Structure 1
């Protein structure tokens, strides 16, 4: 019997568990650990609350999670509750699927000012992640700046711009909905160091901006390259750039009909943050040009007013004591998923924050192939029984998948009209819902 521990219950974790079941069937026992009492990782706390169709992929993971072969081990944190070394002693293979939950640092002068927030924190706030539920971002100013040219930046800009009615059907948490309802933001400036041909935004997410009730996207036509240059782009990016051209063609008088402006500021590299009484007041931006795909400084600077700044410049994996870490890449040091004997990684923890949710599926299947090469028939270690004994000796309050389903039932029961659920935003409330 192969004994496998997967640390992290997001897409990478459950795709890996699915691969293990398909590879070994009943000849394996797979424990999926998570420090939260709830599973699914970024599906729950990273995907935008108004993208319910994407969140629905969790139903696939439920098929893997129910049964004896795969077990959810929630409310157990690697480090405080059990060490990596202890997991390696108990299981034939330990696979880290912890994702990249930490913001890349915004390394410019003044970045420590109040109301400068990383996207992991801001997205966690409106998605009800317990670590960020008390964030309380400043929405009482007129100007927000979003740094980044990927879909996370679009998510943030869109969430900042929507009306309460437009959140119908979403699972945005109540504290965020209340704060956004009272928001006074009039301008959301989206800063990107390079130009339209270098964006990482996909057509679906860009297209949503055309249909916002109270916000209108603005693009300066002068920032767009000649239309014939679009022919060299891959099809998805070409569609995205075509949408930017559509934004630029919106007549000025139509912009005035909506109270919120979404300003795309290309060739704009943030250089410093100005503050007043410790809180951000403006971003100093340097104009760039693009040479061979890289942003090159021009020396020309200007100021963009900002009462709030959300940095969407990428994520990093959180280091774990005893696990080799690649600081430059922001992920675990690995060779095709191998870290140390019996220790592996998968998903963003392996390759960095790239690709879609579905990209994690082949990644999960590949790492299980690697594990099989290394451990063969397995059946060497205590695995699940050994962990259960340890958990009992340490009085760990382990949350199972059946427990999670009770938490989910309570969230669904508490939902406001039109919403699929009202998430618990602290661990204590989740545990209280179980009566444990």
Structure 2
């Protein structure tokens, strides 16, 4: 029998568990640990609340979770409740699938002003992550600046721009819906250091901006390269450019609309204000060998809020080698140290889609199979249970999560799939074990 501990219950964690089942069948036991009492990681707290079709992938993870070989171990934090070394004593392999839950810093003057957020925090606020539920962003200003040219920037801009009716069938949490209801934001500026050919925005997400009831996207046609320059691009990027060109050509906009403005070749240089955000100083850029280089021309965008969507980094764990520059665990193709591995964003950084984690999980299990060819005699699950009882850990199992899930669905407002608990204590209370 092999005993595998996976730390992190998001896509990378569950795809890795699925791979372990296919590799060893009934000869493996997998425990999936998570700090929160609820599983599925960014599917729950990262994917936009109005993208319910994407969240449906959790049903696949549920089928893995319900096998007797796999167990969810929620409400257990590495570093607080037990250490990596202790896990390694108990399990044949420990696989870190912790994702990249922390924001990269802008590194700009004024970044510490109130109402400047990273996307992990802001997205966590409207998705009900317990760490960010109390964020209280100030939406009383007319203009918000979103920094970044990827899909997360589009998600943030779209949620800010949507009407309450458009969010009715999403699982956005109540406190965020109330805050957006009272929002004064009418201008959303998306800053990108480079140009349209360098965006990381996919066609589907761009197309959604054209379907908003009270908002319209704005692109300056002068920022767009000639159509013939699109010829060498991949199909997805060409489609994305097609949407940007359509936005630039659209003049049928109501003056009372919310605007989502794309400001290309624009690098933020400072966030300005006395005690609060008042403006963003921006420098015009040009491309030199594909890199954005400042031109010296600067201007200011009056704004009351800034949201940086420039990437994420993995949380360091004591005694685990860490790659500061890459914002991930130091590893060689997923191997960190004997018996210790990483997978998903914790291995490669925040790149790829949800589905990218599946081959990643299968690849790491192949390495585990090579490194640990037989039963090492480690105690595995029974050993952890003994430790948890000795320390009085309040472990949440998948059957407990099902009770939380049932309670959230029952509490949903009309038309919505659920109303999430945003406090850990409330989640545990819903299990009926308190």
TM range (shorter): over 0.9
Partner of 2:402: 405
Q: Answer whether contact 1:213 1:258 (CA < 8 A) is retained.
A: no
Unaligned runs of 5+ in 1: none
Partner of 1:192: 192
CA distance in 2: counterparts of 1:25 and 1:321, whole angstroms: 33
CA distance in 2: counterparts of 1:257 and 1:23, whole angstroms: 59
SS in structure 1 at match of 2:61: helix
Listed as ranges, the matches of 1:182-331 within 5 Å are 182-251=182-251, 254-276=252-274, 278-331=275-328
CA distance in 2: counterparts of 1:293 and 1:378, whole angstroms: 51
CA distance in 1: counterparts of 2:254 and 2:189, whole angstroms: 16
Per the TM alignment, residue 435 of structure 1 is displaced from its structure 2 partner at its CA by 2.2
CA distance in 2: counterparts of 1:113 and 1:434, whole angstroms: 39
SS in structure 2 at match of 1:425: coil
CA distance in 2: counterparts of 1:377 and 1:26, whole angstroms: 14
Unaligned runs of 5+ in 2: none
Per the TM alignment, residue 95 of structure 1 is displaced from its structure 2 partner at its CA by 0.0
Per the TM alignment, residue 12 of structure 1 is displaced from its structure 2 partner at its CA by 0.1
Q: Answer whether contact 1:282 1:303 (CA < 8 A) is retained.
A: yes
CA distance in 2: counterparts of 1:93 and 1:10, whole angstroms: 18
RMSD: 0.7
Partner of 2:380: 383
CA distance in 2: counterparts of 1:113 and 1:308, whole angstroms: 10
Listed as ranges, the matches of 1:3-402 within 5 Å are 3-251=3-251, 254-276=252-274, 278-402=275-399
Partner of 1:428: 425
Per the TM alignment, residue 68 of structure 1 is displaced from its structure 2 partner at its CA by 1.5
Change (3 A) 1:51 1:65: same
Aligned residues: 433
CA distance in 2: counterparts of 1:259 and 1:141, whole angstroms: 16
CA distance in 2: counterparts of 1:407 and 1:287, whole angstroms: 49
Q: Answer whether contact 1:216 1:258 (CA < 8 A) is retained.
A: no
SS in structure 2 at match of 1:211: coil
Q: Answer whether contact 1:255 1:261 (CA < 8 A) is retained.
A: no
Per the TM alignment, residue 417 of structure 1 is displaced from its structure 2 partner at its CA by 0.1
Deviation per residue, 1:16-61 (Å, 9 max, x gap): 0000000001100000000000000000000000000000000000
SS in structure 2 at match of 1:299: strand
CA distance in 1: counterparts of 2:375 and 2:269, whole angstroms: 54
Per the TM alignment, residue 257 of structure 1 is displaced from its structure 2 partner at its CA by 4.5
